[in-house]
Amino acid sequence: MDIKSLFKNTPTDKLHWGEALGLWDIARYKVMGLTILEIFLAQAKDRDLKHSLSDGVEMLIIPHIEKIQKFLHQYGLESPTVPQRKNLDVVGKKIEPNTFIEDDEIANDIREIFRFGLELDMKGLTSSTRDDVRSLIWEILNDDYKGFDAMLKLHRKKNWLIPPPTV
């Protein structure tokens, strides 16, 4: 048997495991991030930080989860479920801001969360071969990078950057 013949019959209309797993990991990460951001929203005091976190939920996390869910469902695959958002009534209402997490701590945590998300995006992108999957992940990666960049600008504006170790 010729090795090339093994690849001639590869169905192009199906997702392979790397693509499905890449999309699943990105969606699962964003589902977890949704809860974390809502906790941070309840704790943040700084108006710019609250606005940035709210934008992240509404413009990055929720739309990306919905796009990935739709994509996976069209191939008969399940996607990570989004838990009921029971804590929305807490955001800015019942908890005194900064009672256990300060704004600069929230901002630095968010920067690291973004950084890990970008790594997952790249892993998903480099594990994909289909154009439609790569296009979807590329769109998510671009959005996430813009969010990361906006967070870094807020860090500089508020002097929240933690300088890296120097050599």
Does the structure show a pLDDT above 90 at 82? no
The verdict on pTM exceeding 0.75 is yes
Residue 18: band (very low, low, confident or very high) from pLDDT cuts 50, 70, 90: very high
Task: Give me the percent of the chain exceeding a pLDDT of 70.
Answer: 83
User: How distant is the alpha carbon of residue 103 from its chain centre?
Assistant: 20
* Nearest alpha carbon to residue 87 among 79, 95, 99: 95
Coil, strand, or helix at residue 97? coil
Residue 89 carries which DSSP code? G
Quick one: CA torsion of 18, 24, 26, 28, rounded to 10 degrees? -150
Q: What is the pLDDT of residue 135?
A: 97
Q: What is the pLDDT of residue 80?
A: 85
Higher pLDDT among residues 91 and 74, named by residue? 74
How confident is the model over 1-16, as a mean pLDDT? Answer: 63
Residue 14 carries which DSSP code? S
Q: Where are the domains of the chain?
A: 16-158
Residue 7: band (very low, low, confident or very high) from pLDDT cuts 50, 70, 90: low
CATH node for 16-158: 1.20.1260.10
Please enumerate in sequence order all residues whose Cβ is within 8 A of that of 71, keeping only pairs 6 or more positions apart, or say none. 23, 132, 133, 136
Please enumerate in sequence order all residues whose Cβ is within 8 A of that of 33, keeping only pairs 6 or more positions apart, or say none. 61, 113, 117
Higher pLDDT among residues 130 and 3, named by residue? 130
Quote the tokens at residue 136.
Answer: 């979807």
Contact 92, 45 (CB under 8 A): no
* Nearest alpha carbon to residue 29 among 100, 92, 123: 123
Average pLDDT taken over every residue of the chain: 86
